[in-house]
Amino acid sequence: MDALPHYYTVAASGNNSTSHVVVSSSGVSDIVTDAPAEFGGPGDQWSPEALMMAAVADCFILTFRAIARASKLDWQALTVEATGTLDRVDRKTQFTDIGLSVAVTVIGDVSEQQVERLLHKAEEGCLITNSLNAAISLEFAVAYA
């Protein structure tokens, strides 16, 4: 890993003739977004709210991957479903809770307690959730290949 701090730049552009927003960053494909249906949008594009939950789920997997590698845990697959609760607190709309539902398939002789410990380390180490005020909860299922 490069020394901190790291900097990430993203640009967003929109216009008055369409509700879509184009999000771009150097070296990756653009993403077209729009407001979710809950905010009067069409509901057929990625929204900032869905992208936030995608970032949480993605970060969890990448953090788990690094922790599992360091712990020499042999695993085959990991899926994460992140569900955020958007609510109003002190007249501000924000994510108040994020539930992570994780399914992991491991290989070999490893205890469920060891896997649970590593999953909790991934939850605690995810830089995205560490940057949010929302309460994080984790439920998981372990399968063996």
Listed by start position, the domains of the chain span 1-46, 48-144
Separation CA 30–CA 20 (nearest Å): 12
Domain 48-144 has CATH 3.30.300.20: yes
Beta carbons of 84 and 93 less than 8 angstroms apart:
no
pTM of the model as a whole: 0.95
Separation CA 80–CA 57 (nearest Å): 6
Separation CA 88–CA 101 (nearest Å): 24
Q: Long-range CB contacts (< 8 A, 24+ apart) of 95-99?
A: 95/52, 95/132, 95/133, 95/134, 96/134, 96/135, 97/134, 97/135, 97/136, 97/137, 98/53, 98/56, 98/129, 98/132, 98/134, 98/135, 98/136, 98/137, 99/136, 99/137, 99/139
Separation CA 115–CA 120 (nearest Å): 9
- Residue-by-residue pLDDT tens, the chain, 145 positions: 899 999 999 999 999 999 999 999 999 999 999 999 999 999 999 999 999 999 999 999 999 999 999 999 999 999 999 999 999 999 999 999 999 999 999 999 999 999 999 999 999 999 999 999 999 999 999 999 9
Q: Read off the DSSP letter of residue 145.
A: -
